[in-house]
A and B are shown apart, each in its own frame.
Chain A
Amino acid sequence: EVQLLESGGGLVQPGGSLRLSCAASGFTFSTYDMSWVRQTPGKGLEWVSLISGSDSRAYYVDSVRGRFTISRDNSKNTLYLELNSLRAEDTAVYYCVAGSSGPRDWGQGTLVTVSS
């Protein structure tokens, strides 16, 4: 059974940083593209970033490029998202998902709140 367990969310001030982690199990992690998707009440679902399984090439949506960094450690079956220069509009539930063209498996999400 595929499991994706996110952690690292919390309350952070504007301009601050956080590191999200996603522990994966139940599938061959190193061969899968992995992604972060966020959800806000106002903007719905937004695909934030993707990292390929084959060569760890990273992709970002324009709103986070230069501020967020996606990475993976295949030896630990773990996906990461480094969030820097956080803004109020980054407040959302962040989901770890396996796959990129239509992910079947999602984590339960971790809440990031950016507020002073």
Chain B
Amino acid sequence: DVVLTQSPLSLPVTLGQPASISCRSSQSLVYSDGNTYLNWFQQRPGQSPRRLIYKVSNRDSGVPDRFSGSGSGTDFTLKISRVEAEDVGVYYCMQGTHWPRTFGQGTQVEIK
């Protein structure tokens, strides 16, 4: 199975400051169709996961533009340009290239 390793696992951030989460894959996530199916999800307390980013860098409708995704192959990053209070939660990367689909362990973002 593809292992996705996130770092850090805990991320205390000051309001208004940037934050960055890394996701490294044990295998290339480039699919045979040329797409890279690496996604980012946010899960707020008591809620279902919400997709923020799909195919590495595409932001979902309604997602604030302070969220951005980048990377290629096996190394990916989610960045929040200026953290707001509503960004508290757990962030997961997820690969949709290989079966079984897999998730990273999650990164807890909290406000300092």
Contacts and interface: CB of A to CB of B under 8 A. Distances in A.
Interface string A98-112: 001111101111000
A32 interface: no
Interface residues of B, number: 21
Contacts of B99: 50, 59
Given A44-B103, A47-B100, A59-B100, A102 B37 contact: yes
A82 interface: no
A108 B48 CA distance: 6
B92 A45 contact: yes
A68 interface: no
A65 B99 CA distance: 13
A61 B37 contact: no
Contacts of A109: 48
Interface residues of A, number: 19
14 contacts: A44-B103, A44-B106, A45-B103, A45-B106, A47-B100, A59-B99, A101-B96, A101-B101, A102-B39, A102-B54, A102-B94, A102-B96, A104-B51, A109-B48
Interface of A: 35, 44-47, 50, 59, 61-62, 95, 100-104, 106-109
Interface of B: 37-39, 48-51, 54-55, 60, 92, 94, 96-97, 99-103, 105-106
Given A44-B105, A95-B48, A103-B51, 11 more contacts: A44-B92, A45-B94, A47-B100, A47-B102, A50-B99, A59-B99, A61-B100, A101-B37, A101-B101, A102-B54, A107-B48
